[in-house]
């Protein structure tokens, strides 16, 4: 089976990025919160001044930096006073019939289209569960997470990317409205390529 490093080097070779192989390999994640409830993540530079809303300055990586996405997840943030940026399970507020349907766009290519993340954490193909200790009682809470099959999807250097999403009711098919004082966030996790200055200039 092809490894994450093999996938990165293969794509780099196809794109003519000959120096990517000399960079620092790492594991990392980028995240963003749609505090404007715009339905788009990773694209609005205005939110980058909001502490904790994102860990990127723009929606593209610098020269010789990249991310091979191996999993991604959505989460709900409560932004009301006293609960600012409290990460919660969006099933608690939107109900188990809610589904997030999203597209991932890299450059001008829609690499994931109409991909579902279910509030109820089902089916297991699109979500996993985690154990939490709540006052001595072990409980399960779904993580709204998608694991990439194979070697993942590469975001190469200096190529813009974003996620667009909508909320639907899986029973009625109707579009779900955003709740007041709530915002959705998303993180992309995987093998990261970092700029390495220990090379010949």
Q: Is 125 helix (H, G, I), strand (E, B) or coil?
A: helix
Q: Is 6 helix (H, G, I), strand (E, B) or coil?
A: helix
User: Among all chains, which residue has been given the structure tokens 């001044």?
Assistant: 49
Provide the pLDDT confidence category of residue 123 given band limits of 50, 70 and 90.
very low
Provide the pLDDT confidence category of residue 48 given band limits of 50, 70 and 90.
low
In this predicted structure, what is the pLDDT of residue 103?
96
Provide the pLDDT confidence category of residue 135 given band limits of 50, 70 and 90.
low
In this predicted structure, what is the pLDDT of residue 125?
42
Dist. CA 192–CA 197, nearest whole Å:
16
> In the predicted model, is pLDDT for residue 42 greater than 80?
yes
Rounded to two decimals, the pTM is 0.79
| Mean predicted lDDT score pLDDT of the chain | 76
Least confident range from 14-23, 25-34, 109-118, 188-197: namely 14-23
In this predicted structure, what is the pLDDT of residue 3?
75
The CA distances from residue 85 to 24, 54, 95, in Å, are 32, 12, 20
> In the predicted model, is pLDDT for residue 191 greater than 90?
no
Domain boundary assignment for the chain: 4-194
> In the predicted model, is pLDDT for residue 81 greater than 70?
no
Strands 128-134 and 40-41: unpaired
> Tokens at residue 183, please?
């915002």
Reported as a single tens digit per residue, the pLDDT across 150-175 is 678 889 988 999 999 999 998 898 99
> In the predicted model, is pLDDT for residue 141 greater than 60?
no
In this predicted structure, what is the pLDDT of residue 89?
64
The CA distances from residue 52 to 60, 73, 172, in Å, are 19, 17, 35
């Amino acid at each position: 089976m092809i490894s994450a490093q093999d996938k990165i080097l293969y794509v780099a070779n196809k794109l003519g990025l000959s120096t990517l192989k000399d960079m620092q390999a790492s594991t990392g994640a980028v995240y963003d919160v749609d505090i404007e409830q715009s339905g788009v993540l990773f694209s609005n530079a205005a939110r980058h001044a909001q502490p904790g809303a994102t860990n990127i300055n723009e929606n593209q990586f610098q020269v010789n930096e990249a991310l091979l996405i191996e999993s991604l997840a959505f989460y709900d943030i409560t932004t009301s006073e006293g609960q600012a940026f409290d990460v919660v399970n969006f099933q608690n507020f939107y109900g188990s019939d809610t589904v997030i349907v999203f597209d991932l766009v890299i450059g001008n290519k829609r690499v994931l289209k109409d991909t579902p993340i279910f509030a109820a954490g089902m089916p297991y193909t699109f979500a996993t569960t985690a154990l939490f200790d709540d006052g001595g009682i072990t409980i399960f809470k779904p993580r709204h997470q998608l694991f990439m099959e194979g070697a993942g999807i590469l975001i190469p250097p200096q190529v813009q990317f974003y996620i667009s999403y909508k909320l639907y009711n899986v029973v009625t098919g109707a579009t779900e409205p955003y709740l007041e004082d709530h915002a959705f966030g998303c993180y992309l996790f995987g093998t990261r390529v970092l700029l390495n200055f220990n090379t010949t200039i």
